Amino acid sequence: MTPKPVYKRIVIKLSGEALQGSKFHGIDHRVLVSISRQIKEIRNLGVDVAIVLGAGNILRGQQNSDSCGLDMDRSVADYMGMLATVINGLALQDVLEKMDMPTRVMTAIEMQRIAEPYIRRRAIRHLEKGRVVIFVAGTGNPYFTTDTAAALRAMEINAQAILKATRVDGVYSADPLKVKDAKKFNRLKYIDVLKKRLKVMDATAVSLCMDNKLPIVVFNLNKEGNIKRVVLGENIGTVVS
């Protein structure tokens, strides 16, 4: 008997750092293949999949400054970061389609030759037709992170959860890669994330999810098969609700 997914429609939030894998910069093709295989698994279960991408593997806008101490204007840096997410989106689309998954890249900043402009009703229609939808260029506005874009898009398309893919297996009291006795949380309330300033998603994204009762599942992307485990309701990672 085929197991039933607990979520019918999800948004997967992938950071740029997740795409770079073991590289110091850029895109690790093996990571794209692994992610695509996992997405194919959950699509075969009948789950609608949308993806929001970051761009930290290419450009982290807020950290741009030169040796003269002249910081780049925040708006300029953020727009550059948004354009970098498009590069990641096209790379992921290419691998997904080579695995016979119809895919649409939808951008918040119009660039008609390479991606569709984001229109909510069209995005929902793509999902209903079984296409994977990749949202790029964040919200299209500076000063908003791709975490906030993920929360916003998830609510617009009526997703049932945000899956936040990371390099560790959940939310900890401190960075488990640096602090050996960091405590892992299996479940958290939104307000606890905000009060303790835990690095789940930024405060705006968490507040949006709290206001709309949208759960966030934080899990380890590096372990292949974890996306399917989350979708089937297995007890992995941390659930914020």
pLDDT digits (tens, 9 = 90+) for 127-139: 999 999 999 999 9
Q: Which helix (H) or strand (E) element contains residue 238? A: strand 238-240
C-alpha 122/C-alpha 65 separation (Å) is 39
Arithmetic mean of pLDDT, 194-200: 89
Q: CA–CA distance from 229 to each of 120, 184, 221, 239 (Å)?
A: 28, 19, 11, 13
Residue 1 covered by a domain: no
Alpha helix (H) residue ranges in the chain: 16-20, 29-43, 74-98, 120-128, 146-156, 190-196, 203-211, 226-231
Angle between helix axes 146-156 and 120-128 (nearest 10 degrees) is 70
Write the CATH number for 21: 3.40.1160.10
Arithmetic mean of pLDDT, 14-23: 88
Average pLDDT, the chain: 92
C-alpha 166/C-alpha 180 separation (Å) is 18
Looking at residue 69, its pLDDT comes to 61
What are the two backbone dihedrals, phi and then psi, of residue 38, each rounded to the nearest 5 degrees?
A: -70, -35
Q: What is the pLDDT of residues 1-10, one digit of tens each?
A: 678 999 999 9
Q: What is the pLDDT of residues 147-192, one digit of tens each?
A: 999 999 999 999 999 999 988 888 898 888 788 888 889 999 999 9
Looking at residue 23, its pLDDT comes to 84
C-alpha 205/C-alpha 83 separation (Å) is 21
Percentage of the chain modeled with pLDDT above 70: 95
Can you spell out the DSSP letters for 190-236? HHHHHHHT-SSS-HHHHHHHHHTT--EEEEETTSTTHHHHHHTT-S-
* Banded model confidence at residue 61, pLDDT cuts 50, 70, 90: low
Looking at residue 179, its pLDDT comes to 84
Lowest mean pLDDT among 109-113, 171-175, 231-235: 171-175
Looking at residue 18, its pLDDT comes to 87
Residue 217 covered by a domain: yes
Classify burial at 138, counting beta carbons within 10 Å of its beta carbon; exposed 0-12, middle 13-18, buried 19 or more: buried
Residue 219 covered by a domain: yes
Residue 2 covered by a domain: no
Residue 186 covered by a domain: yes
Total domain count for the chain?
1
Residue 150 covered by a domain: yes
Residue 4 covered by a domain: no
Lowest mean pLDDT among 64-73, 111-120, 187-196, 232-241: 64-73
What are the two backbone dihedrals, phi and then psi, of residue 3, each rounded to the nearest 5 degrees?
A: -65, 150
* Banded model confidence at residue 66, pLDDT cuts 50, 70, 90: low
Q: Which residues span the domain enclosing 231?
A: 9-240
